[in-house]
Amino acid sequence: MKSGKKSEKKSKKTLKKKKLSSNITTIILILIFLVGLSVMLYPTVSNYINQRHQSKAIAAYDEKVSEMKPEDYTKYFEAAEKYNKKLAKNPSAFYNPDEIKGYEKILDISGTGIMGYITIKKLGVELPIYHGTDEGILQIAAGHLKGTSFPVGGDSTHSVISAHRGLPSTKLFTDLDKMEVGDTFTITILNREITYEVDDISIVLPDETDSLQIEDKKDYCTLMTCTPYGINTHRLLVRGHCIGTGEPQHIHVTAEAFQIDPTITASVMGIILLIMLLIRVLIRTRKKGQEGKHLKCNQVFLHLKRGDLIGNNKKTK
């Protein structure tokens, strides 16, 4: 009987160890699944969050514009046009933009650095345009290249709008290489919407800037990003010329009106259900394994007890 009890205690310890090992395995599998899922969903979720931030920034800008008076528009446009005329007369300012003072305050109606926004319908892109092309700006939106004309239209102007491509966190100019000659994009500044038609697409080295210079009597806007994708040794330039100026035709949306995209909501709910299902399957599989082990152990205990009884009977006889 003593040997049977010892075997029973030993079996219980073994079962506890196996149970602990099974729990650890389950946790590891769940963690691996969650990490893999996070990596897979990061670009989608991050892009959505950034797009929402961009849309809210544009909506806030539109709200600010709607509160302005006609004389306010005139004041801001006159300041931008004055800056542009100075640029046209002083080509060296392209390389030394600080030669012309007051850049940061021009068209900054809200103090946030946003001067307007760009819409590229073909690519499904709408981005706020900030003053300058600092890395912090290009990570989240489009930037206006300092030393080029403000994008308010007019003869002898050439504005350059830049944004990153290939970021896992947001789309920006990732699909700019899909633009073709004849495609259009719009720049919205205050109550003015300027439409540009693409007439030239080129790839240049970073120090090749001749194609970004102002041309007499021309109204150009060039979109610039890095290329090739992921290597970034050159610059992709998509230039457009002005084909029309008018008032923005889009429906005004307030900054508070944005809601979560139903597609994102459905995806998140689906992921939660999938995780719950996986956990349930793992737990049920583990329980079945433990039940099988308990049956085997009980059979062993019965067998040992019967052996002891038979041995004792033989000794009695």
For the question of residue 158 being annotated catalytic, the response is no
Q: Distance between CA atoms of 245 and 191, rounded to whole angstroms?
A: 10
For the question of residue 226 being annotated catalytic, the response is yes
Contact status, residue 87 vs residue 160, Cβ threshold 8 Å: no
Helices (H), the chain: 2-66, 70-89, 135-138, 262-316
Contact status, residue 247 vs residue 185, Cβ threshold 8 Å: no
Q: Distance between CA atoms of 206 and 122, rounded to whole angstroms?
A: 26
Tell me the two tokens of residue 14: 């073994």
* 170 three-class SS: coil
The enclosing H or E element of 155 equals: none
Q: Distance between CA atoms of 28 and 134, rounded to whole angstroms?
A: 42
Say which DSSP state 255 is in: G
For 261-298, give one letter per residue: b (16+ CB within 10 A) or e. Answer: eeeeeeeeeeeeeeeeeeeeebeeeeeeeeeebeeebe
* 110 three-class SS: coil
Point out the catalytic residue in the list 226, 241, 250, 294: 226
Point out the catalytic residue in the list 158, 164, 221, 242: 164
The residue with tokens 């801001």 is 76
Say which DSSP state 108 is in: -
255-262: long-range contacts, CB 8 A cutoff, minimum separation 24: 255/56, 255/59, 255/60, 255/63, 257/59, 258/52, 258/55, 258/56, 258/59, 261/48
Q: Distance between CA atoms of 45 and 261, rounded to whole angstroms?
A: 11
Active site residues: 164, 226
